[in-house]
């Protein structure tokens, strides 16, 4: 499971964020989306779709709700409390394995963001130099498997390192020399934060060391809502937002920070600028090989009990 490790909480956390009212001849249909955590630049295509009126043109009034607990969105969705929820491909298999009636119906970020990171001052330049070192992590199970997989690719095992649960304090534990490296930092956020602090992060990408690539941020629907006529309209509007953002990064950032002044800082601005290449240009597209491959990886790693058919995890919605 992926949970954002931000240093600050947005003032918008827990608040409902509604698209601005536009003149319409027909009433808008309400569509409720649960965010994965508090508002941040990862959600740029959603806010761009809002700013350019794509949701309203699709006949939708999209309400984006930031949860007070990042574990809640999939479970609230499963309970029928929303039309869609943001989550992570790595979490999807665990949710289905637990029997939750959810399916991936869209993708917001279609490239992995998570990294294993050390600081330049540590002298670590190669993954093999982690032998005898402490590695901080936040999410038991999945992240331990990711570390083990990466170490195996360079001839090491978990027995060669010491794992330390730093309880989401990835950056502070690394900066405070409590650990020698951490897993779960984002190449578009914490790694930028460390670079801005002059700490010269040494970044190892999991997909370069045996971990299958995955979609970072996905859209989930309840199985009862797969035929919701608002869903393809929503995905089409998100696609419009993602495509528009590519050529209008700065204007959309200006609107975003005006709406969310607590995020008008050097780090969030840099994160916004770094993200456009990671957003899915076709949110509805389902990479079948990727989803099957990661399912099999989860099974081999003992994280799920069985490998179900692809349709039990993800579907492609026609838009």
pLDDT in tens, 193-223: 999 999 999 999 999 999 999 999 999 999 9
100, 74 Cβ separation under 8 angstroms: yes
**Mean per-residue pLDDT over the chain, rounded:** 93
Distance between CA atoms of 299 and 23, rounded to whole angstroms? 50
- CATH for the 16-111+215-312 domain, from 3.40.190.10, 3.40.228.10, 3.40.50.970, 3.20.20.105: 3.40.190.10
Long-range Cβ contact pairs of 315-319 (< 8 A, separation 24 or more): 315/103, 315/104, 315/105, 315/226, 315/286, 316/284, 316/285, 316/286, 317/105, 317/106, 317/226, 317/231, 317/232, 317/235, 317/284, 318/232, 318/284, 319/232, 319/233, 319/235, 319/236, 319/239, 319/284
- Beta-sheet strand order (sheet of 114-119): 162-165, 134-137, 181-186, 114-119, 201-204
Query: What pLDDT score was predicted for residue 168?
Result: 86
CATH 3.30.410.40, applies to 114-208:
no
Q: How confident is the model at residue 25 (pLDDT cuts 50, 70, 90)?
A: low
Lowest mean pLDDT segment, chosen from 24-28, 174-178, 202-206, 315-319: 24-28
Name the residue ranges covered by the structural domains of the chain. 16-111+215-312, 114-208
Would the CATH topology of 16-111+215-312 be identical to that of 114-208?
yes
pLDDT at 17: 52
Say whether pLDDT at 264 is over 80: yes
More confident: 66 or 13: 66
pLDDT tens string 115-145: 999 999 999 999 999 999 999 999 889 999 9
Q: Is 19 left (phi over 0), alpha (psi -120 to 50) or beta?
A: beta
User: Is there a contact between 35 and 64 (Cβ–Cβ < 8 Å)?
Assistant: yes
Question: Residue range 306-311: average pLDDT?
Answer: 98
As beta bridge partners, residue 222 has: 102
């Amino acid at each position: 499971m992926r949970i954002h490790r931000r240093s600050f909480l947005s003032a918008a956390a827990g608040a409902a964020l509604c698209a601005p009212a536009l003149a319409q001849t027909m009433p808008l249909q309400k569509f409720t989306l649960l965010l994965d955590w508090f508002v941040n630049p990862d959600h740029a295509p959603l806010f761009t779709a809002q700013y350019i009126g794509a949701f309203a043109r699709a006949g939708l009034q999209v309400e984006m709700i930031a949860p007070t607990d990042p574990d809640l969105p999939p479970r609230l969705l499963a309970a029928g409390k929303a039309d869609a929820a943001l989550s992570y491909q790595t979490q999807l298999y665990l949710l289905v394995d637990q029997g939750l009636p959810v399916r991936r119906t869209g993708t917001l970020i279609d490239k992995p963001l998570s990294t294993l990171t050390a600081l330049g001052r540590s002298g670590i330049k190669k993954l093999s130099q982690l032998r005898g070192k402490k590695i901080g992590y936040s999410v038991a199970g999945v992240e331990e498997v990711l570390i083990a997989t990466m170490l195996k690719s360079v001839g090491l095992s978990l027995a060669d390192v010491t794992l330390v649960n730093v309880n989401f304090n990835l950056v502070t534990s690394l900066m405070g020399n409590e650990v020698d490296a951490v897993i779960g930092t984002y190449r578009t956020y914490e790694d930028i934060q460390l670079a801005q602090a002059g700490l010269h992060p040494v970044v190892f990408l999991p997909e370069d060391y045996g971990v299958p690539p995955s979609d970072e941020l996905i859209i989930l629907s309840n199985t009862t809502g797969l035929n919701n006529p608002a869903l393809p309209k929503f995905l089409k509007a998100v696609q419009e937002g993602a495509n528009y953002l590519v050529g209008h990064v700065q204007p959309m950032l200006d609107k975003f920070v005006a709406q969310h002044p607590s995020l008008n800082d050097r780090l969030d601005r840099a994160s916004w600028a770094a993200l456009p290449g990671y957003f899915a240009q076709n949110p509805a597209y389902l990479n079948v090989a990727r989803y099957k491959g990661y399912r099999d990886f989860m099974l081999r790693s003992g994280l799920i009990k069985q490998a179900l058919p692809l349709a039990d995890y993800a579907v492609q919605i026609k838009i």
